[in-house]
Structures are given as C-alpha cells and as structure tokens.
Amino acid sequence: MPRGVTIDHVSFGYNKTAVLDDVSLDVAQGELFAFLGPSGSGKTTLLRLIAGFGTPSQGRVLIGERDVTGLPAWNRNVGMVFQSYALWPHMTVAKNVAFGLERRKFGRAEITKKVRTALDMVGLGAFADRRPAQLSGGQQQRVALARTIVIEPEVLLLDEPLSNLDAKLRVEMRSELKAMQRKLGITAIYVTHDQEEANAIADRIAVLDQGRIQQIGTPTDLYDHPANRFVATFLGTANLIDGRIDGGRFVADKFTLEGITAADGGACISIRPQDITLGPAASGAGAIVAEREFLGSVVRYRLRMSGQHIVVDMPHRRDGETYAVGAEVGLTVDPRQIAVLR
C-alpha cells in the first residue's frame, strides 16, 4: 500500500553546521516527487531522514498518518536506492534481490517467486544467475531497483539513481523508471541536481538551496512562475532585469514594458530567452548583438543592453531574419510571458 510522506518543519545539522533549515513539504500517495538543488543543498540529507538514517533536530517525518521521526530505518517500510547501487559483487543477481526477503524470513518458495516477479518487472528475468560485474551500468541499476521494490516498500527513495550512466542510457532509464513507478503505483522521491531530469520525470519538484526549500510546484509552475531569482535561473535560462513597476508599467534603464499586472514598487522581472522577439531598433532604444550561436532549432543571441547581458532564442527558419554581431536590435516582449520577482 503506497503512502504519502510529510516533512513537517524539519531542521538538521552535522555538529553545529545547519544543513536543513525548517523544511516542510507533502508528497502525495503515488506521486513521483523530486528534490532538486545544487550540490550540497541538502537533498541526500533530507532523503536519509525519511529513510531513518538520522533524526531531525527539529520537526517531524510522517509516512502516511504515522509519525516515524524517532523510528529506526528497519522499522519504516521504506526502500532506498543508493547512488552507488551497493550491489554485492560475490552474489548473483537473484541472490542480491533475495537478500532483503531472506532477512525478513520469507519462505524459500515465496522468495523465489517474488524475486522472479521483481526481475521480470525490471526486464532482467534472464539475468538471474549473473554477477553484477557481468552486467552493464543500466542493468546494475535495474538490479538495485528490483532489490528495493521486491520488499514492497510504502515509499521508494531514489538518490541520483541514474548518475552513473551515460547520457543516452540515462534518458532511456528515466522514462523506464517513471513507467515502472506508475505501474507499481508507488510513492517515490527522486533526488537529482539535473533540472532536465527532474522536469522530465517528476509530478512535482521541491527546489532546495542551502538547506531551504525555495519553491514547490509542477515543472511548468516552477518554470513559468518562479518565486525568486534562484529558481528562475536554476530551472532554465532567465533574463533578470531590475527596475520598478509603476501603474502597470515596468521601467528599467533603456527598457520599459507595459501591461504588467503586479503591485507598484521595486521589482525584478524574469524573461525567458524564447519570449523575446528581435526586430529593427527604434532609434537609440536598442541592444547590441554581442554574440550569435546557431543551435539548430534556435539561434541564440547574446545582447548587450545598458551594461547587462540579455539572451534571446529566435526559432531558426530557412528564410528567417538573422542579426549580425554588432547590429543594433529592438526587443519585443509579451508582458503575459514574464514573471515578476521581488
């Protein structure tokens, strides 16, 4: 039976250094939830607290309705896949998968059946007698997954499970992983520092920086409505422009934008590169093309405008207009596509 996870005002530190600061979030039953943040932001630490490897200095961890804050790992029905896979090299694939069941004192026949089901589920039914060293990285990763799902945990915790794989396999495995999570209907928390991976796989994402939650939302929420500068720049490329909003108009040096629906006062707006259109410059109001990169589907321009760099992606068309380095260009922005940050 899958259960949700609640993190309720959790703080944690090693010695006296704070690593997690007042973290709260709810993972729904059956949801695939990602912790996304740069290295050292506290993702693994938070995952370990859910698994029961460590106790928060403040706050509570709940699995379903049950407060598990003080419970040791083996009293929580949680399965964790470690980044390193931690397979036993001297055991066959089947033995690796059976290990957790043996410790839980299942009967021999039942173990054989469960192991077979789990290996079939990850597509490794034919590999039961191999040893980890005779498998590819992706296959080892699937053994680690089979070993975890075979114990039928209520919650599946995955710590950068694909980081050892090459780029192509990583993309394949992430959709397989998502399909499997759906099939099992299991609640899963997926740790990654790769925003593309989080966007591709997660129902919702919690963005962490320096032990604090910056924002929680669906991938599109976070991309379209970032709460702050960190989220705006961590999830994709963003042009951040500082200025003021005054009666529905955003004013910055050399740049004004009408039709803003946000309260008056100092503000920073975030504009995605694809939400700016280049055209001829109105006299003196333009930006200068500093660099132009052809990326295939888009042409990426780096512009200089009052000492600031602006990135613009224009879709590439065979007969489309392009602008040379050094040219002066005008910018058009749809005010509905911007995010106002404070």
3-class SS letters over 52-69: CCCCCCEEEEEECCEECC
Alpha-carbon distances, residue 103 vs 52, 97, 269 (angstroms): 18, 11, 56
Question: Residues 19, 101, 115, 150: which binds ligand ATP (CB under 6 A)?
Answer: 19
Please identify, using beta-carbon distances, which residue of 114 and 170 lies nearer to Mg ion. 170
Q: In what order do the strands lie in the sheet with 5-14?
A: 17-27, 5-14, 58-63, 66-67
Residues 4, 31, 33, 44: which binds ligand ATP (CB under 6 A)? 44
Residue holding tokens 């299942």?
Answer: 106
Which does residue 96 bind out of Mg ion, ligand ATP, none, counting CB within 5 to 8 angstroms by kind?
none
As measured in angstroms, the least distance from the Cβ of 69 to Mg ion is: 22
Work out whether 215 is an interface residue with Mg ion (CB under 5 A).
Answer: no
Stretch near ligand ATP under the rule CB under 6 A, chosen from 41-49, 70-78, 199-207, 275-283: 41-49
**42 binds, options ligand ATP, Mg ion, none, Cβ within 5 to 8 A by partner type:** ligand ATP
Residue 39 or residue 220: which is nearer to ligand ATP going by CB?
39
| # binding residues, Mg ion (CB under 5 A) | 1
Per partner kind, with CB cut-offs from 5 to 8 A, the member of Mg ion, ligand ATP, none near residue 37 is: ligand ATP
DSSP characters over 241-302: EEEEEETTEEEETTEEEE---S-SEEEEEEE-GGGEEEEEPPTT--EEEEEEEE-SSEEEEE
Locate 48 and state its tokens. 């370990």
DSSP 123: T
> Measured from the CB atom, is 39 or 220 closer to Mg ion?
39
Contact assessment for residue 274 and residue 298, using Cβ atoms and an 8 Å cutoff:
yes
Structure tokens at 168: 């192509």
> Interface with ligand ATP by CB under 6 A: which range of 35-43, 133-141, 225-233, 329-337?
35-43
297 binds ligand ATP (CB under 6 A): no
By CB under 6 A, tell whether 37 contacts ligand ATP.
yes
> In angstroms, what CA-CA distances link 230 with 77, 120, 178, 217, 308?
35, 42, 27, 15, 18
| DSSP secondary structure code for residue 91 in this structure | S
- Binders of ligand ATP in range 137-176 (CB under 6 A): none
Q: Does 56 bind ligand ATP (CB under 6 A)?
A: no
Question: What is the per-residue binding string for Mg ion in 36-75, x denoting contact by CB under 5 A?
Answer: --------x-------------------------------
Stretch that binds ligand ATP, among 36-44, 53-61, 242-250, 324-332 (CB under 6 A): 36-44
The amino acid occupying position 155 is V
Give the footprint of ligand ATP on residues 187-216 (CB under 6 A): 193
Own/partner contacts of 11-17, CB < 8 Å, gap of 24 or more, are 11/56, 11/57, 11/58, 11/59, 12/42, 12/45, 12/46, 12/49, 12/54, 12/56, 12/57, 13/57
State the number of binding residues for ligand ATP (CB under 6 A). 11
Q: Examine residue 42 and tell whether it contacts ligand ATP (CB under 6 A).
A: yes
Task: Report which of 199, 130, 187 is spatially closest to residue 156, judged by C-alpha positions.
Answer: 187
The option from ligand ATP, Mg ion, none interacting with 272 (CB < 5 to 8 A, set by class) reads: none
Q: Which is nearer to ligand ATP, 222 or 271 (CB)?
A: 222
Round to whole Å and give the CA distance between 187 and 146. Answer: 16
Instruction: By CB under 6 A, tell whether 96 contacts ligand ATP.
Output: no
Contacts with Mg ion, residue ranges (CB under 5 A):
44
Interface residues with ligand ATP (CB under 6 A) are 14, 19, 37, 39-45, 193
